[in-house]
Amino acid sequence: MPESRQPGPHLSLVKADNPLRPGEQVDWSKRMALAQGGDREQYRALLLEIEPYVRSIARRCFKHPADAEDAVQDVLLTVHSVRHTYDPQRSFAPWLAAIENRRVIDRLRSETRKKAREIELTPEHESFSREAFAHETFSQAATNHDGIAERALHEAIGKLPPEQRDAIRMLKLSEMSLKEASRVSGRSIAALKVATHRAVTNLRKLLKGGQAS
Amino acid sequence: MRTPDLIDTLANSAAPVRRLRPPVLRAALWLLMAAAVLLLLAVAHGVRPDLSTKLHQQIFVAGMAFALATAILAAIAAFKLSLVDNSRWWALLPAPALALWVSTIGYGCLTDWVSIGPDGVRMGEAIRCFATLLLTSVPLSLAMLIMLRHAAALRPTEVSVVGGLAVAAITSFALSLVHDLDATIMVLVWNLGTAAIIAGLASAFGRQALAWVASRVVPGLFQSPIR
């Protein structure tokens, strides 16, 4: 505690680096009494003066500066809405500290609740859902690991009869059009369609652990 | 919204406000309201027929007195607690009276155990009891919620539990005054049961109820800060 500080009541939330001095507390109390009577300039001065003090406590309680700033605004709004409950015969600082204490604890609690309920999405979650969506027919292969699903699919394609394997590689993996595939392979469009259909049916069986027909 | 802008907005919208009266005075006002409700109830329904006999029974008088004391102390505690710079220990103010009240009911139950009979309670009386319960507790709870709405952002749970206790004790007092429930188990159920239900509802929904009342009467209190 600084040498210049007078002995007397002090705040539970305020530590040694308390920006308050006793003289200021008296001023705040007077300013609030005037603000209750509708003096807007005194009220503005009061809010501007308490803001750094409120922030210094909020910064200690919240890691993220944006959270601390939200808490500061919350405290100022609460002070505003309950300003009629302040009794000018009592000192202002404990009143303010009690309000800040309550609001900060409430915010910390709701933050904890939110964290317990919500999971932050990472790229892993995203790739899992995309992978699962793309391969939803291949339920066996739809694991949360890209590599496993892909390898299983490639192995299954490798086990297909040659005409089906080529059809699926051209039309699905290389994303050729039916015309392009027909030109490259020299087979008719109808034959390619049939081969692709059979390939997909076979892949389903293979990925479920059966044999290609 | 940036904080300096918020301060500007708040300062520009600062209308004169009327300071709250001292908490004990406000508690007295609420108790006066409770007395009016009890009086109306007694006039409308009439007191229990055997009241003069019951008033000679020490245990009955003690139970009534402790219920009333619990109500008065809990009301004072609720109004004290609703001011954020008052100590939390005010919540314990009604505790001794509550303990004595509960023990008189328990004692009566123990000594009069044999008086529970098939004719002890009539169903019609139980329903009228329920009506009395609602007539007393609903208006008094509403009045308390409105009078304590400023506590919504600060001490919602403590204030509503202690306030609920005050309502519960008054309700129980009204039940004993108006209805002749002599089967002690029913007295126990009605007194402690309603007290527990009212206090339980207050603790479960007090926070939301206070917030709801506050948002209707003090709009803007629960808007989250705008970035």
Domain ranges of chain B: 21-217
CA–CA separation, A65 and A85 (whole Å): 30
pLDDT for residue A3:
42
Same domain, A130 and A111: no
Same domain, A196 and A140: yes
Same domain, A34 and A71: yes
CA–CA separation, B89 and B81 (whole Å): 9
pLDDT for residue B96:
93
Query: Distance between alpha carbon A81 and the CA centroid of its chain, in Å?
Result: 30
Q: Which of A87, A117, A147 is the last residue of a domain?
A: A117
Ranking B4-13, B105-114, B123-132, B186-195 by mean pLDDT, the lowest is B105-114
Q: Is residue A1 part of a domain?
A: no
Range of the domain at A74: 22-117
Tell me how close the Cα of B217 comes to any Cα of chain A, in angstroms: 11
Same domain, A175 and A93: no
Q: Is residue A183 part of a domain?
A: yes
Q: Averaged over B202-211, what is the pLDDT?
A: 70
Alpha-helix runs per DSSP H in A118-213: 123-134, 146-158, 162-168, 178-185, 189-207
* Share in percent of chain B as helix, strand, coil (round to 5): 75, 0, 25
Q: Is residue A213 part of a domain?
A: no
pLDDT for residue B34:
94
Question: Does ipTM top 0.95?
Answer: no
Q: Which of A86, A117, A148 is the last residue of a domain?
A: A117
Q: Averaged over B31-38, what is the pLDDT?
A: 94
Q: Averaged over A91-116, what is the pLDDT?
A: 87
Same domain, A150 and A174: yes
Tell me how close the Cα of A67 comes to any Cα of chain B, in angstroms: 10
Residue type, B198: I
Q: Is residue A8 part of a domain?
A: no
Q: How many structural domains are present in chain A?
A: 2
pLDDT at B212 exceeding the cut of 80? no
**How large a percentage of chain A has pLDDT more than 70?**
73
pLDDT for residue B186:
55
pLDDT for residue B30:
95
Q: Are B155 and B211 in contact (CB under 8 A)?
A: no
Which residues of A make CB contacts under 8 Å with B?
Answer: 35-38, 40-41, 43-44, 47-48, 51, 66, 69-70, 72-74, 76-78, 80-88, 90, 94-95, 98-99, 102-103, 106
The CATH number given to whatever domain includes residue A98 is: 1.10.1740.10
pLDDT for residue B124:
60
pLDDT band at A133 (very low <50, low <70, confident <90, very high): low
Rounding to the nearest 10 degrees, give the CA dihedral for residues B175, B90, B197, B125: 0
pLDDT for residue A211:
66
Which of B10, B19, B84 minimises the CB distance to A84?
B19
Average pLDDT in chain B: 78
Set of chain B residues whose Cβ sits within 8 Å of the Cβ of A68 = none
CA–CA separation, A5 and A22 (whole Å): 7
Mapped onto helix, strand or coil, the DSSP state of residue A13 is: coil
Q: Which of A73, A89, A117 is the last residue of a domain?
A: A117
